[in-house]
Structure 1
Amino acid sequence: GEPIAIYADSVLLLRYFRKAEKSSVILYPIRESNPRSLAWPSHLRPLDQRGNTDIKRPKFVHPWFIIFDVSVRCYQDYVIEQSVVDAAPSTELEEQSTSTVDAEAAAAAAVQNGEPVEEPPKRNGMNQKMLKRMETVPDIKRDTSGITTQYIATGIVNLGAFAAGVCVAWSSSALPLLITEPFEPPSPTRDIIAIENTTPTLLPPPHTKLSLTPSEASWVASLLCLGALWGAGPAGLISEYFGRKKTLLYLALPLVVSWILVASSPNVYGLYVGRFVGGMALGAFSVGIPPYVEDIAEKHILPTLANFYHVHFSCGVLFGYIIGLVENTSWLTVLCASVPTAFFVAFIFLPESPAYLMSQGKFHEAKAALRYFRGIDNDIDSEMKALKERLRNSAKIKVTFKELFGTRSTVKALVVSFFLMVFQQMSGIFPVLFYAKNIFETFAISLNPPSAAIILGFCFVSSTYFSTMLLKVVRRRILLMISFAAMAVNLACLGIYYHLKASNFSPSSTWVPLFTLCLFVSFYASGVGPIPWLMLREIFPPHMTRRATALTAGFHWFLAFCVTKFYQNLVDMVKHGWTLWAFCIVCIVGIAFVFFFVPETKGRTLEEIQNEFEGIHKKRKHRHVIEVESVSEA
């Protein structure tokens, strides 16, 4: 613990080194099992290296990694000291250390004289192999592979998807508290069940400032999707200009503003504006989150991390159904506004996308960001070279929306993605999620509607998580057809039940509506929900993927707006039974479309998929020419 030497400032030549004034460099002896540098590098930095960013500490090192690294180092020192103390008495340590030095000196002399050297005995009761093994214990920063960091970063950025799911579930929880008229004429059966499910309470009924008609309520619900249509289009271009992180980070601000407008609006027009502004942030999240995840994720875990968007979206829907038990619109809005606030606070600590930093010429920052996501021990030089090459090629090939319609294969890929979105939205998933509480009240289930909505949300979350593992083993086309078929069966069963109930052939209180709707959302989350978004990265070339995603996302939100808005008009015209049958027919047509026009993408290269688009389901005839040599008799 005593210093070996102390060098004053005058000893170091300030002509060649940068030295802190009025400070000295103290050189301590090092331990053999835990080597440390003799001087802090910043005290001995030459002047010609000032401004050289290669020797700087990585910018994006999380404080928890530093704290954990210090803890591991202290634990290593403690283990070594304890092993030394346990192996020999404290009075013999100096003698053993002296004998060890003498033995090393004797061995060195023997080597010079050419004499054989005996193997040194155990030091302090410990084997040399054990000491060498303890010397090579890696630090925590070098031991991390970056996988955990990528999972945590993906979970944080997908809090935006969680906020989007809360926006969708708000309609189911809040609109029944604001609507002055029921969705259907009152029936004695539903009124009796509502009275039975009502629990006595000492609190007064919730007071709301606004009273909406069913038509106004449908606008409040559907304007979220219309705002998402306008937010999804420019989000990709904005993120390429300002950066992935800045774009996603600042999207939390309009989302918070939208919840403030919804909470403090004195009339229905404030609700319209608030929902539209929130929808713009929702649509931008749907386009901006996948590219950020694609930039930070390794290839072998990218499909799993890409499905985090759907998992978090479903979790947000479940959270919105749970807070619907509050039955107070003011507190409901406050709880919803806490989600984008948490996203802003958590996401601000993550670095920018390495690909964006590289495209802006910030090579050292891009390398530090990539090192943050890959771990200290991994070699990122090859990945940096591949990233540079990809950016160089993308700079040569500037893709516009017009070029998506330039070739036959890209046009067919765009048609496939558009029709998959058509069948996805026309299956009726958004009306079920937006009006879950009112649907359960219409079918007069024995369970109270808020609790039934929570069960529905739980099935939605569990099925979405299960699809993450299912997509690894099942082919895309098979999973899509099974999903569409199961959704059609459940919609048909629910439609038959509604007609039987209307004809008084079925008991008024049963578990059939809840069971069929839970199966409906479960099969949707297992296939029809995530696969169309997943296939966008598989059927388009890499330089066209983001333009195609922005265009498809805009079309997706336009369809969602149409279905959500006109669902109530369709119910008023033909009632719930025939509306369910219309959704069922759409699912059946979706099965036929997948069978005849959607190519299989799992385990296939982009070239094979593009070749199939060039001649989709058309068998080419091959001409075989056989040369026959005739032998004439002599």
Structure 2
Amino acid sequence: MAELGMSTGELVNNAKPARAAQYIAALSATMGALCFGTALGYSSPAGILLTSNSTDNSTLQLSTVENSWFSSSVNLGALVGGPIGGLCINAIGRRGTMLALFPFFFGSWVIIALGQNFAMLLVGRIIAGLCTGIVCIAAPTYIGEFASADIRGTLGAGFQLMAGVGILYAYIFGAFIDSWQILAVVCAVPTIIFCVLMVFSKESPSYLLSKGKDKEAQESMRYFRGSDYNIEPEMQMLKQSLDDSKANKASFSDLKQSYILKPLLISLALMLFQQLSGVNAVLFNLKAIFQESGTDLSDDVSSIIVGVVQILATVVASVLMDRAGRKFLLLSSSGAMTVALVGLGVFFYLKDNGDVSALGWLPITSLMVFIAAFSFGFGPIPWLMMSELFTPNVREAASGLSTMTNWGMSFIVTYFFESMRDAIHEYGVYWLFGGICAVSLVFCLLVVPETKGKTLQEITAMFGGPTTSPTPARSSSSSSASEKQRW
């Protein structure tokens, strides 16, 4: 068992696993992110059509309150979908869960496309949100379990990138399609591609091994690593890691321990600040925001530009994540978002009180900076640090609580966006979001630790926790094995 104290790379003598199968599987899984990205982006162009009733083939028209529910109900569904996803990936597998999503994801768009009243639209959006919450658990878990260490970061970053592509997909087609029904049909297409690609994918080796299917797990690992790669050392470490996790399973009651509670509160705060920046409220209503700004550039073109910026910034984030560090990116992100939101608020304040014809560039510039800053910092890092701050035995419980907090706050902010604009004006809302981003900057500066390059033991020690397993039955070598395999 002495070899278990070594890293996977050392055990296989630095052999390079094949990558083609991993890239294809990652593309297949991240198509799920593209699917929920279209659900997020759909409400921006569709909301305009539904509230203005600008199409000739529909008598359905939503009020302002109904449109708030239409936009925000995806988050409500995702809030429920997260816990369900956690149960499903352990019951029917990571790949099995994503395959099972197809009839629901596709069906949600069918319900919306055939919608005759507000209730049907709401049901369709909630089902889409339910699928969103599930895929946000299933796809990253799947990718993290089959990806080899040399490309795990790159493949993991693809999830948020594809979500951005999905949002842009909805914006682009929304610019040319003047029917929310037809747009719903177009947005259903990626769900079919997602299903077809997952049919030809393999199940996660980790899941198969956890179910006692050793032979199938070896076949899956060999598929992902290539026939010339020696999978035995990695399989041995994976099995040991699973045994360690079962022996140290934690519950919600364990979260109150000081060295667990501290990182949990940091994770919850990051999730709260992420959503209180107002990003989803802005993305869900982007087209309406540009319409109300009254600038010369069309709202469709402006939305597409912002969508492209989001994708490019996400690519930059994947490059800088392990170079600049998490804390630096969070500080840069919150600072830039504060400036952008203040600038957007200034524009709408001047618009309400005078002539802004010379400032037509300010709304799109501010939103480009805001979305770019969010995408390279507060977008991906709270999710990444959620997996880094917790030890494996509490990660499921702590991550579930953090995820529910994120989607719950996203629903609240998105739903009350219209009401806040009525109460404190457009400029007041953006200044409020900007003020919260300024507070998040101070929080990140004073409280959030830097986790770049740190081992699990080092991160645990930062919060005053034990650097070795508290379970006497475990040997130090097995503890080292599971921890090094994770990091």
Tell whether the structures are fold-level matches, with TM greater than 0.5: yes
Task: Say whether 1:154 aligns with 2:26.
Answer: yes
Alignment of 1:199-348 (within 5 A): 206-325=56-175, 326-348=177-199
- Pick aligned residue for 1:172 from 26, 37, 44: 44
CA distance in 1, matches of 2:295, 2:398: 43
Give unmatched runs, 5+ long, in structure 1.
Answer: 1-142, 182-203, 616-634
- Pick aligned residue for 1:394 from 245, 260, 284: 245
CA distance in 1, matches of 2:422, 2:263: 37
Q: Deviations over 1:447-476 (max 9, x none)?
A: 111111111101111111111101121011
Alignment of 1:295-444 (within 5 A): 295-325=145-175, 326-405=177-256, 407-444=257-294
CA distance in 1, matches of 2:284, 2:378: 18
Find the residue that maps to 1:603 and give its secondary structure.
coil
Query: TM-score scaled by structure 2?
Result: 0.90
- Pick aligned residue for 1:596 from 420, 436, 446: 446
CA distance in 2, matches of 1:263, 1:535: 38
- Pick aligned residue for 1:581 from 427, 431, 450: 431
CA distance in 1, matches of 2:273, 2:16: 43
One-letter code aligned to 1:167: A
CA distance in 1, matches of 2:287, 2:355: 24
Quick check: 2:28–2:197 contact (8 Å CA) kept in 1? yes
Quick check: 1:158–1:312 contact (8 Å CA) kept in 2? yes
One-letter code aligned to 1:365: E
CA distance in 2, matches of 1:209, 1:369: 52
Alignment of 1:431-580 (within 5 A): 431-507=281-357, 510-580=360-430
State the 1:508 CA deviation: 6.5
Quick check: 2:347–2:359 contact (8 Å CA) kept in 1? no
State the 1:505 CA deviation: 4.3
State the 1:205 CA deviation: 5.3
Q: Deviations over 1:107-165 (max 9, x none)?
A: xxxxxxxxxxxxxxxxxxxxxxxxxxxxxxxxxxxx99322221221111011110111
State the 1:542 CA deviation: 2.1
Find the residue that maps to 1:300 and give its secondary structure.
coil
Quick check: 1:426–1:586 contact (8 Å CA) kept in 2? yes
More helix by share: 2
Residue aligning to 2:5: none
Quick check: 1:490–1:519 contact (8 Å CA) kept in 2? yes
One-letter code aligned to 1:458: V
One-letter code aligned to 1:146: A
Structure with more contact order per residue of length (Cα contacts < 8 Å, sep ≥ 6)? 2
State the 1:241 CA deviation: 1.6
Task: Say whether 1:145 aligns with 2:17.
Answer: yes
CA distance in 2, matches of 1:486, 1:509: 20
State the 1:533 CA deviation: 0.6
One-letter code aligned to 1:605: T
Q: Deviations over 1:345-378 (max 9, x none)?
A: 1111111110111111111110000000001111
One-letter code aligned to 1:596: L
Find the residue that maps to 2:323 and give its secondary structure.
coil
State the 1:550 CA deviation: 2.2
State the 1:530 CA deviation: 0.4
CA distance in 1, matches of 2:123, 2:181: 17
One-letter code aligned to 2:311: V
Quick check: 2:341–2:434 contact (8 Å CA) kept in 1? yes
Residue aligning to 2:480: none
Quick check: 2:340–2:366 contact (8 Å CA) kept in 1? yes
CA distance in 2, matches of 1:576, 1:212: 21
Find the residue that maps to 1:358 and give its secondary structure.
helix
Quick check: 1:144–1:377 contact (8 Å CA) kept in 2? no
Q: Deviations over 1:296-355 (max 9, x none)?
A: 011232222211111010010100101102111121011111111110011111111101
Quick check: 1:310–1:530 contact (8 Å CA) kept in 2? yes
Quick check: 2:249–2:394 contact (8 Å CA) kept in 1? no
CA distance in 1, matches of 2:462, 2:394: 18
CA distance in 1, matches of 2:209, 2:42: 40
State the 1:551 CA deviation: 2.0
CA distance in 2, matches of 1:598, 1:573: 33
CA distance in 1, matches of 2:373, 2:442: 17
One-letter code aligned to 1:452: S
- CA RMSD of superposed structures (Å): 1.6
Alignment of 1:72-111 (within 5 A): none
One-letter code aligned to 1:322: I
Query: TM-score scaled by structure 1?
Result: 0.69
CA distance in 2, matches of 1:286, 1:157: 10
Quick check: 1:286–1:553 contact (8 Å CA) kept in 2? no
State the 1:437 CA deviation: 0.4
Quick check: 2:55–2:179 contact (8 Å CA) kept in 1? no
Find the residue that maps to 1:614 and give its secondary structure.
coil
Quick check: 2:25–2:201 contact (8 Å CA) kept in 1? yes
- Pick aligned residue for 2:456 from 583, 606, 612: 606
One-letter code aligned to 1:301: I
Give unmatched runs, 5+ long, in structure 2.
Answer: 1-14, 466-487
Find the residue that maps to 1:528 and give its secondary structure.
coil
Residue aligning to 1:30: none
CA distance in 2, matches of 1:517, 1:254: 33
Identity within the alignment, %: 35
Aligned residue pairs, count: 450
Which protein is bigger by CA-based radius of gyration? 1
